Structure 1
Amino acid sequence: MDAAAKPSPPTAAVVIRDTVQWLERAVIGLNLCPFAKGVHAKGLIHYAVTPADDPAGVLAALRSELAALDTLSAQQRDTTLLLLANCLQDFLDFNDFLGDAEALLEDMGLAGTLQIASFHPRYQFAGTAPDDMGNCSNRAPYPCLHLLREESLDRAVATFPEPQSIFERNIQVLEALGMPGWLALDVGPSPPGAR
């Protein structure tokens, strides 16, 4: 292999494995989302990896996954993680794309029924430094569009006392963990040699 050649992209199986590891170790393990454990344990999370390498392809995959989630019952599929291994690796590009994703949701008439949350390896909340630990609450191994049912979210929030406290608690947990602790969780993408 030529030394300057780009490493091959990860396979869908690797992307899903890395994402499940992140979900189990960080999201559930640190209790960053108190609602994730139940749907994960019941096998109600659908993992979709798109091979798209441009935003138009990602939008097409998003349209397909939104339609599929809307057609199925929550007992069949409660939520979907659309994983982008080959596109929108730059966080600013990804962030800009979210406007197109929301517009698609509106165009499909699904706003109010479904919503889209976002995760990215270099996620950065507005007004924070890149190394701010709070950013890790939305950091995933690959760019990810999380498709949620409004009804499921409302039901989960109704059972949780003071849901607005989740974000503050996450910041406290992540700051106490620190970057060495976050890195020790090993929740990033698999290195090219392990693919």
Structure 2
Amino acid sequence: MRPLTDDEAIFDATRHWLLQAVIGLNLCPFAKNVYVKNLIRYVIIRACEEPVILADIETEIRHLSATDSTELDTTLLILPDGFHDFDDFNGFLPRAERLLKRTKMTGVLQIASFHPEYRFADSRPDDIENYSNRAPYPILHLLRESSIATGLLAFPDASVIYERNQETLRRLGLEGWNDRMRNQFHP
């Protein structure tokens, strides 16, 4: 077996997290459908400078919005070289949201955020509940509002998802989480 390239390793780690955590723990009940239908685009953004990152995000916003949802439903923008510090990443999010507004995509697309050190407000860094938004790399998830609306038809009370995720993670615990993330395979 040939060694993985750096990008392949990043894609593998991201897919592993998606399969083991997001889909495997059912943290997002809408993710499995788009994954099985191969409607997820994975994009690595290598830039570290905010203006370049924003330009790359804008390119992907335009690409997603111009592509039919039966071909592409969602995009994961993976930033392995930038925003290692969660506070810097979190501080960048309002600029990404302003970009949605500037491209007139507010109400059409949303941005969800994930980070290896994700921390909800008023939580301690090691609280297991933070792991619902922890990923192997900083990730911006571009998703269609129409897909969210469709998903909510099956899950009309979205607050139940958050509460269920918190309970799932508390039952799993840090050791269980680490076991899931450690058992990465390479297809």
TM range (shorter): over 0.9
Match of 2:81 in 1: 86
Q: Distance in 1 between matches of 2:183 and 2:126?
A: 15
Report the Cα offset of residue 161 of structure 1: 4.6
Report the Cα offset of residue 11 of structure 1: 2.1
Q: Would you identify which runs of 4 or more consecutive aligned residues in structure 1 move more than 3 Å?
A: none
Larger fraction in helix? 2
- Residue 160 (str. 1) matches residue 166 (str. 2): no
Q: Distance in 2 between matches of 1:129 and 1:34?
A: 26
3-state SS of the aligned residue for 1:186?
A: helix
Unaligned runs of 5+ in 1: 1-9, 190-195
Match of 1:44 in 2: 39
3-state SS of the aligned residue for 1:109?
A: coil
Cα RMSD after superposing both structures:
1.8
Report the Cα offset of residue 188 of structure 1: 10
Return the TM-score normalized by structure 2. Answer: 0.93
Q: Distance in 2 between matches of 1:24 and 1:177?
A: 16
Q: Distance in 1 between matches of 2:166 and 2:6?
A: 33
Match of 1:169 in 2: 164
Which one of the candidate residues 99, 105, 114 is aligned to 1:110?
Answer: 105
Residue 108 of structure 2 aligns to which amino acid in structure 1? T
Report the Cα offset of residue 163 of structure 1: 2.4
Q: Distance in 2 between matches of 1:53 and 1:185?
A: 30
Query: What is the count of residue pairs matched by the alignment?
Result: 182
Residue 127 of structure 1 aligns to which amino acid in structure 2? D
Q: Distance in 2 between matches of 1:162 and 1:103?
A: 28
> How much identity, in percent, do the aligned residues show?
46
Match of 2:6 in 1: 11
Q: Say if 1:141 and 1:187, in contact at 8 Å, map to a contact too.
A: no
